[in-house]
Structure 1
Amino acid sequence: MDHVDPAQPGPEDRAAEPLTEYVQRVNRRVRDFDRRRPLVWDVLLTGFWVLAALIDATGGGWRNVARDPDVPAGLVLALSLALSVPLLWRRSHPAAALLATLPAALASSWSGATLQAALLQLLLVHHIALRLPLRNLWWVVAVVTAPTCVTVARYGDGPGSWNQQLGSQLLSIGVAALIGVTVRARRDHTAVLEDRARRLETERDQQVRLAAAAERARIAREMHDIIGHNLSVITGLADGGRYAAAKSPDRAAQALDAISTTSRQALGELRRLLDVLRDDTQDGGSRTAPELAPQPALTDLDHLLDGVRRAGLPVRTTVTGEPTLPEGRQLTVYRVIQEALTNTLKHAGPDADATVDLAYGRRGAVTLVVTDTGRTVPSPAHTGGRGLTGMRERTALYGGTLEAGPRPAPAHGWRVHLHLPEESPQ
């Protein structure tokens, strides 16, 4: 027994779907043509009703409902044209077109011809309800019922004529107006949905662009932190090894080993970052999985400080409190320490030393102070580089504050102060 998936369309659905799509496609084409050339459609529809009115007038069909069958043929023909030709302006000026048909409708009722072409006024009522403010319907009712009142007053056949004819006319006006209001509400609802869809699409595109910009900024921060720090360490080790080569070959060899280790570490971190971004395929189209590794945390801080010390910068550390930070906050603190020490390596001078004071508070709060005893005059990299911007961006993610500047006199050097507030309770 074959299994039938209820989510899949059945034979009837597959047979009906092409017809529905065909009707919708034809409807869209007609609407597009009408938007491009509205006069063509207006002329065609008006011509149809003018022809119908003329057939009724010249063929004598109007006499079947006329109160006075002896109305002159020329008057009947003129009234038929006067009642049908104004339909040409039913969309652009429906109120004016209705008022233009009023004299002909009154003449038709007074003469006793009671032409059926007067029913075309209901089409104008429909367009008034569709296109104009609904308050216009009050005078529209008066205009359309006036010929009926004339007919009943002049040719009334009994006490029930007023109720019957006026009731039928008011019912017809109500139906025409209701159709117009319904189409108008549907059109307005569709316009609102389309506008909302456009705004949502625009908002989605903006969110995509913002996400892409944020991702580019994050990648720039990571590459700056990885490359800048490790190159600074390598530079310090290379300078130390160069001075030690002449007097202590063993120290020079240790410096070269440290350079090799730091270089491999930097290449590994950079490769992992680029693997995440790579979008090419290998091995016949199968994408290779990127080499993944956790982001550095405060548990890696000793390794970071050892590398800085090997590069020739003495660093003292003081830690108070229990280190219970989430991973994101740990990365922020780690990167700020890394960037601050990197700047010290690059700009503080050969005789500088650094101090890292780290204090943990409750619920993820942390205060970090990194100071050095280097130059008093700040370098351009201290004040306007990408590293300081990256530190502030990372700090802002957690609502923290970061201050960086020269230490107050008489002290010499530079000071970086980071504070992350407590996490909000969930």
Structure 2
Amino acid sequence: MDHVKPEPENRAAEPLTEYVQRVNRRLRAFDRRRPLVWDLHLTGFWVVAALIDASGGWRTVAHDPGVPVGLVLVLSLGLSVPLLWRRSHPGAALLATLPAALVSVWTGAALQAALLQLLLVHHVALRLPLRSLWWAVALATAPTCLAVARYGDSVGPWHQQLGSQLTAIGVAALIGITVRTRRDYTQVLEDRARRLETERDQQVRLAAAAERARIAREMHDIIGHNLSVITGLADGGRYAAAKSPDRATQALDAIGSTSRQALAELRRLLDILRDDDQGTTGRAELSPQPALTDLDRLLDGVRRAGLPVRTTVRGEAALPEGRQLTLYRVIQEALTNTLKHAGPDATAHIALSYATAGAVTLTVTDTGSGGPLPAGPSGGGRGLPGMRERTSLYGGTLEAGPRPAPERGWRVHLHLPEETPQ
């Protein structure tokens, strides 16, 4: 039993314009790679056409059919061979054809190959400064002026001869100018597209760098603070283990809860970096960032780690989430530094003052050993630069340094101005 092979689906015929454009792009690409090939082919075509005319056809329009054939061959080559340089040196090629065109008119041969000067005028308009057209028109018009002067009305009224030649030159130049304008316009569009693509890539890189910096700040705040709390709890539990096992058990419980809290925050942050087919990114954004309502839990952890903290609040908090996160992280970083550097028996004080329209002032002080800023281009690690970056997002100011004598300890002072109406 014969099996009939199913016919392929009928595809829509390619539009003629798209086909022509595709072929044109391929030809242009080939021409850019091997320009000499196209120049040789086109020049060879016109040389052959000129020689065919020189074999006898020229006599049908000649003023003097008795011109020697050898001279006609030389003049035909002189009018066609310079086309080889029409793209690289169109002005020089046009000038090279002028002697042959003048001799052709003077001898009466009136070769049709002289029309090839119009192609050179076209390339002058296409490739050279437009002011070059003036002398190109003069060169292409000179043989016509010589014919009118030598043969008078026998070749027709002078104004008709000169008008016809100028019209032909004008059409050739206009075509060249049109092609040149379109080419320049296309080049401008391509350059603009390349610039836009470069700017887009730069914006993507800047956005990625800003996101990396934001994630680095969050990681530093989460890990640095919780590890400092865990370290304080571990040290306290070690000393309490010998005297009060119950206190050691409480310290271990606090270490466990602090560790779980840190892991939960890290998972939330790392979920934002995930981008899979199940839409994890969208779910991660639903996890709330820390706010001022979470401040009590933060202070409880710090107190369990052995740092007494008291707070003073003036006014009522009515801040957007971004400002609340900035205050939370600055308090967290300030208390983390106190845990790490203030030494034993230090205490901390947090003073929050709320004003209208989102303005707020925060001061965190401690009674530790204090000291100068750590060495480094940014004042040490990521802590202080991170606090300043968060503050600058809202046009605020942040000062951090030792408290003035005779007081001891460290002071962090933050001020966020009123929100700017959008």
**Normalised by the size of structure 2, how large is the TM-score?**
0.91
- Residue pairs, 1:359-374, within 5 angstroms: 359-374=353-368
**Alpha carbons 2:307, 2:339 under 8 Å: kept:** yes
**Alpha carbons 1:398, 1:420 under 8 Å: kept:** yes
- In structure 2, C-alpha distance between the alignment counterparts of 1:379 and 1:74, rounded to whole Å: 97
Identity of counterpart residues, as a percentage? Answer: 81
1:51 maps to which of 48, 52, 68: 48
**Alpha carbons 1:82, 1:101 under 8 Å: kept:** yes
- In structure 1, C-alpha distance between the alignment counterparts of 2:341 and 2:186, rounded to whole Å: 64
Deviations 1:232-260 (A, max 9, x none): 11222222223333333333332222222
2:36 maps to which of 14, 39, 54: 39
| Number of residue-to-residue matches in the alignment | 410
Deviations 1:133-164 (A, max 9, x none): 00011111111111111112222327971221
Kindly state the Cα deviation for residue 68 of structure 1 after the two structures are TM-superposed: 2.1
- Residue pairs, 1:7-26, within 5 angstroms: 14-17=12-15, 20-26=17-23
- In structure 2, C-alpha distance between the alignment counterparts of 1:101 and 1:381, rounded to whole Å: 79
**Alpha carbons 1:347, 1:379 under 8 Å: kept:** no
2:391 maps to which of 378, 386, 395: 395
- Residue pairs, 1:70-149, within 5 angstroms: 70-149=66-145
- Which runs of 5 or more structure 2 residues have no equivalent in the other structure? 1-8
- Residue pairs, 1:341-380, within 5 angstroms: 341-378=335-372, 380=374
1:420 alignment counterpart: 416
Q: 1:66 to 1:158 in 2, by over 3 A?
A: closer
Q: 1:93 to 1:159 in 2, by over 3 A?
A: closer
- In structure 2, C-alpha distance between the alignment counterparts of 1:368 and 1:287, rounded to whole Å: 38
1:28 alignment counterpart: 25
Kindly state the Cα deviation for residue 303 of structure 1 after the two structures are TM-superposed: 1.6
**Alpha carbons 2:148, 2:155 under 8 Å: kept:** no
**Alpha carbons 2:274, 2:280 under 8 Å: kept:** no
- In structure 2, C-alpha distance between the alignment counterparts of 1:371 and 1:136, rounded to whole Å: 79
Moved more, 26-35 or 130-139: 26-35
Deviations 1:309-341 (A, max 9, x none): 121111121122231221111111110000000
Kindly state the Cα deviation for residue 349 of structure 1 after the two structures are TM-superposed: 0.7
Kindly state the Cα deviation for residue 72 of structure 1 after the two structures are TM-superposed: 2.1
**Alpha carbons 2:234, 2:251 under 8 Å: kept:** yes
Counterpart of 1:56, as a letter, is D
**Alpha carbons 1:234, 1:259 under 8 Å: kept:** yes
Deviations 1:2-56 (A, max 9, x none): xxxxxxxxx9993234x55543343233222222222221111111101101101
Q: Secondary structure at the match of 1:104?
A: helix
Q: Secondary structure at the match of 1:100?
A: helix
Counterpart of 2:361, as a letter, is T
Structure 2 residue 206 is the aligned partner of structure 1 residue 210: yes
- Which runs of 5 or more structure 1 residues have no equivalent in the other structure? 1-10
Moved more, 30-39 or 166-175: 30-39
Deviations 1:316-374 (A, max 9, x none): 21122231221111111110000000110111011100111111223222211111110
- In structure 1, C-alpha distance between the alignment counterparts of 2:45 and 2:301, rounded to whole Å: 92
Kindly state the Cα deviation for residue 84 of structure 1 after the two structures are TM-superposed: 0.7
- In structure 2, C-alpha distance between the alignment counterparts of 1:20 and 1:262, rounded to whole Å: 70
Q: 1:358 to 1:13 in 2, by over 3 A?
A: farther
Counterpart of 1:364, as a letter, is G
1:339 alignment counterpart: 333
- In structure 2, C-alpha distance between the alignment counterparts of 1:381 and 1:313, rounded to whole Å: 26
Q: Secondary structure at the match of 1:398?
A: coil
Counterpart of 2:332, as a letter, is Q
- In structure 2, C-alpha distance between the alignment counterparts of 1:27 and 1:158, rounded to whole Å: 46
- In structure 2, C-alpha distance between the alignment counterparts of 1:365 and 1:63, rounded to whole Å: 98
RMSD value over aligned CA atoms? 2.3
